[in-house]
Chain A
Amino acid sequence: MTVIAVSIAGAAGAVCRYLISGWVQNAVRLDFPVGTLTVNLGGSLGLGLIVGTGPLDSTLILFAAGFLAGFTTFSTWMIETIRLGPRSHRTLLNLAGSLAGGLAACAVGFTLTN
């Protein structure tokens, strides 16, 4: 597994994140970062599914470390949480919802394949 292959998979993940999160955000029309939430929970479900299969072959490692890592994002989650404002209940909802949802998505994925 080379850095180049992981990076190409990461670039594909970034493009999918861009298109899917933008599409969801536009479709839902809420003052809440549902686009980022969607890709982060979807990516967590995907990684749970992969980890649940047990010892990974190189293709799955490439998909997990490249595509899914690039598909999900931590920095956008942080900045969008800040931009919701310090006194908004949506700030806490975005933090708790992503955390609980991410853990639940991972657990569901893991359980399905393990």
Chain B
Amino acid sequence: MAPSFQLSKSLTSARHRTGGWHSVAAVAAGGLVGSAARTGIGVWIPTPEAGFPIGVVVINLTGSLFLGFYLARRERAIGRRTSLQFWAIGMLGSFTTFSTFSVDLLQMLAAGRPLVASSYLGVSVLGGLGLALAGQRIGAAMP
């Protein structure tokens, strides 16, 4: 097992260690806040008809940045038991979205716009990976 996968393993196993009702409540509360923020940004940056979904990109990239940052901070100081469920799984998990991303991609391809689709894919995935890494670095470097 690669040591680099330890954290996501622990993130996964934490789901079961703390699988009581307080964890479910923390995920629900985080999901409520994350969904409200996503909806707010979606209204604030609307997607033009048959255009580039900038709002979804902004949401997915900032969510990845914050998740990298949060997990790096959490590694340095163990937070409260339910904070992982609230921030990482509930809030940032539901703030960002995969279903909208994949249906957007499919519709771009179906509309015969492969260049738009590949730039959407490239910006989302490379940007998401880069910003999640950057968030981790910043979180680990901060005192």
Contact = CB atoms under 8 A, between A and B. Distances in A.
B129 A78 contact: yes
Interface residues of B, number: 63
Interface string B103-121: 1011101000000000001
B1 interface: yes
B123 interface: no
A93 interface: no
B102 A106 contact: yes
A7 B32 contact: yes
Contacts of A17: 89, 93-94
Contacts of B109: 103
Contacts of A75: 60, 63-64, 66-67, 92-93, 95-96, 128, 132
Given A7-B39, A11-B31, A25-B12, A18 B89 contact: yes
Interface in B1-15: 1-2, 4-9, 12, 15
Contact of A74 (B9, B15, B16, B101): B101
Contacts of B7: 83
A25 B14 CA distance: 11
A88 to B, nearest CB: 6
A7 B68 CA distance: 24
B5 A110 contact: no
Interface in A80-99: 80-86, 88, 95, 98-99
Contacts of A46: 99
Q: Which 9 A-B pairs have the closest CB atoms?
A: A10-B35, A14-B31, A102-B102, A22-B15, A70-B94, A74-B96, A72-B98, A11-B31, A85-B4
Interface of B: 1-2, 4-9, 12, 15-16, 19, 23-24, 27-36, 38-40, 42, 60, 63-64, 66-68, 71, 85, 88-90, 92-103, 105-107, 109, 121, 124-125, 128-129, 132-133, 136
17 contacts: A14-B89, A17-B89, A18-B90, A26-B12, A26-B15, A33-B8, A40-B102, A66-B35, A73-B93, A75-B132, A78-B125, A78-B129, A79-B71, A79-B132, A84-B2, A88-B4, A99-B125
